[in-house]
Amino acid sequence: MSQACDISSCKRSSCALCHCCQQNICLPHLKEHQDLLVSELNPLIDQINALGDRLNALSLENKMDDARQKLEQWRVECHKKIDHFFKEKCRELDRYVTKKVDTQREEISRIQSKAVELIHEEHATRHDLDLLTSTISDLEREVYQIEQTSFNVRSQSLEIDDSCITIEELGRHRFNLSTLPAVHRTTKYIDGSWHLLAANDRFLLMHQNPNLCLVDRHFKIVKQVLWNNDWIYDMCWSSVLDQFIMITPDNVFILDHNTMLIRTFPLIQKQKWLRNACSDTSLFLSTYELSSSIIEYGLLPSIQLIKHWKSPDTCQKNEIISYMRCNNETFALIITEPLNKTIRMELKNSKTLARLWSLPLNDAKMSKFVFNCCSFNDDEWLIINCESEDLLHITKQGKLKATYKYQSKPLFASMFSSNILAISTENGLNFHKLQ
């Protein structure tokens, strides 16, 4: 006997089991169910079509424009470094040849003067003639050797591996300091070393008593030079000069990471310096005094004094700039008021010193040099609290994102390469590889 349709008020006999609602229904109601399902497909198709239109309207060129500009900037900077290295080696070759030739010229000039003197005095002895003859023979051999000299240039092919450039998607999986990876590698400090850090995309600059050392991406000291100047108060990297800059209380020095030669920065003003920072075009030096000033030096096309920034543009009266760093045309300042022991971080425009935001870091027990900072990923900031042993992760809008209690007393930090965070402590230099 056939079963009645499960739809209320329907007196027809069922003919099928509807798998959607698990009801026995008649043929007309089965068709109604099917029509209802088909009707629900229409808005889904509309959504799919809308997504397709959005994807077709998406400008891939605009999305990739900034990344391609960075790739182009990398290419240009690499060419500049190769050209600079090439010119240095050409100058080295010129100096070597010129020195040998000049030495022989000086000797020829000396012998000519001696011969003229003997002729003028008309008092030449056999010994004088024999000595001149012997000297001329030696010179002939030296000149012949110079004439026959050739130079062999031994060079290594330039290795560029895939790790030189990493392409990452911003806006997803952003790093949070609360998940800081464990220490990947540690370099122990020698007694008497200073703990300041500075880095470019290839090297980290550190002080390992008594030398300034460059550490590569494999955490190996690859170059070093003796530092026999005054106590270094701060150091930073200048991408424009392609050199590191260090300041002492009275002087500023430049370190060439290719030759490891140290020279004095041509200061126009003499001050007591405390901190330095570099933007894409300028070097900023802060003075060691209340109501700190900032002296700006332009670095292109030549080094020149640009501006002397004073209070209240820099900080308020009776305040001191205890630390500063630049990043992407912004200027992070740690500002302390010693009398009331108030501390804050300010982000300013590096061209106008207009304040973008301010973040209080108050603690009555803190000294004026207990805080410092470094630029972090995605234009964010890392603040180091040396006294509480905390690391503070600050967003680009000036909000606290995370706090991390470090395993030992942190002193300074610097991003090294694109994914290595270097943190100096009282005992050693720790490297963290960020994911």
Query: Do β-strands 211-215 and 204-208 pair in parallel, antiparallel, or remain unpaired?
Result: antiparallel
- Cβ count within 10 A of residue 56: 7
DSSP string for residues in 22-48? TEEE-HHHHHHHHHHHHHHHHHHHHHH
198, burial (CB in 10 Å: exposed 0-12, middle 13-18, buried 19+): buried
Check residue 379 and give its pLDDT: 87
Neighbours of 146 (CB within 10 A): 13
Question: Cβ neighbours of residue 228 under 8 Å, at least 6 residues apart?
Answer: 210
Spatial CA neighbour of 332 closest among 236, 202, 188? 236
Neighbouring-strand partners of residue 403: 392
Tell how far CA 184 is from the center of its chain: 20
Give me the residues of the chain with pLDDT under 50, please.
171-173, 364
- pLDDT recorded at residue 85: 84
Q: Angle at Cα 147 formed by Cα 141 and Cα 153, nearest 5°? A: 120
CA dihedral in degrees (158, 164, 167, 168; nearest 10)?
180
Please report which helix (H) or strand (E) contains residue 167, including its range.
none
Sign of CA dihedral 23, 28, 29, 34: positive
Q: What is the dihedral of CA 383, 388, 389, 392, to 10 degrees?
A: -30
Instruction: Write down the pLDDT at residue 363.
Output: 61
Measured CA to CA, the distance from residue 36 to residue 30 in angstroms comes to 10
User: What's residue 173's pLDDT?
Assistant: 44
What is residue 52's predicted lDDT score, i.e. its pLDDT? 85
Q: Is 7 helix (H, G, I), strand (E, B) or coil?
A: coil
Residue entry with tokens 């089965």? 30
Q: Are 384 and 370 a contacting pair, CB within 8 Å? A: no
- 3-state helix, strand, coil split of the chain in percent (to 5) is 30, 30, 40
pLDDT of residue 172: 45
The pLDDT score that the predictor gives to residue 367 is 66
- The Cα–Cα gap between 227 and 255 comes to 11
